[in-house]
Amino acid sequence: MNLQDAYAVLGVSPNATDDEIKTAYREKARKYHPDNYTDNPLSDLAQEKMQEINEAYDTIVHARQAGNAHTKTGGNAGGSRYHDIRNMIRANRILDAEMLLDGIPAASRDAEWHFLKGSVLYKKGWLEDAMTHYSTACRMDPGNAEYRAAFNHMQMNRQTGGYRTTRPVGGCSTCDICNSLICADCCCECMGGDLISCC
């Protein structure tokens, strides 16, 4: 994709600041995210559009890094889309980070993608899935100390029983059940009954 087409895809001027380009990218990514088109006849079209948006953003970022584009003051465009995603994860904007990650086509998902996806899943509490992505990142880039440290941390917690290995199902724990029974018993007693005779 040439630079002129890239600006057109994001709907911004070549004179746009780096922040304006980031904002345009996020808005387009949010609009055409594949999750918005599940079981929709337009899902294939949305996937193609999302790929085009990612390619346009990368083209502009790389051109600006190389000094091939005229920009207003506004700082560096951030290196790559991963720079923005890392900042979102640090700021606990987990859903935004996940949306951008999921919008990246499967063919473009490198070791860093898997590391960041693992980080998002870790923060969401989906620890076994996070472990899988960390493992994939280490396999794709075995020399990366950051990926290895995250994987080793997860593995140590798993071996010492520091986390559960499955996602919570139904969102209801044993404590929730006990609390519900006690609450129901109180309600029954108020009405003259007794749900739990020992309480």
Q: 104 and 16 in one domain?
A: yes
Closest CA to 110 of 77, 84, 141, 145: 141
Give the span between the Cα atoms of 120 and 171, in whole angstroms: 19
Residues 104 and 162 in one domain: no
| Domain identity same for 118 and 135 | yes
Q: What is the dihedral of CA 142, 143, 149, 154, to 10 degrees?
A: 0
pLDDT of residue 163: 53
Q: Would you say 101 and 116 are in contact if contact means Cβ atoms under 8 Å apart?
A: yes
Do 135 and 95 share a structural domain?
no
Task: State the average pLDDT for the chain.
Answer: 76
Percent of the chain with pLDDT over 70: 72
Q: Which pLDDT value is given to residue 179?
A: 55
45 and 95 co-located in one domain? yes
Domain enclosing residue 175, as ranges: 168-199
What's the pLDDT score for residue 79?
45
**Planar angle of CA 4, 77, 27, nearest 5 degrees:** 70
Number of independent structural domains in the chain = 3
User: How many CB atoms are closer than 10 A to CB 116?
Assistant: 23
| Per-residue confidence band for 113, with pLDDT thresholds at 50, 70 and 90 | very high
CATH number of the domain encompassing residue 97: 1.10.287
What's the pLDDT tens digit per position in 151-188?
Answer: 888 888 777 665 544 444 444 555 555 555 565 555 55
Residue 69: the pLDDT is: 35
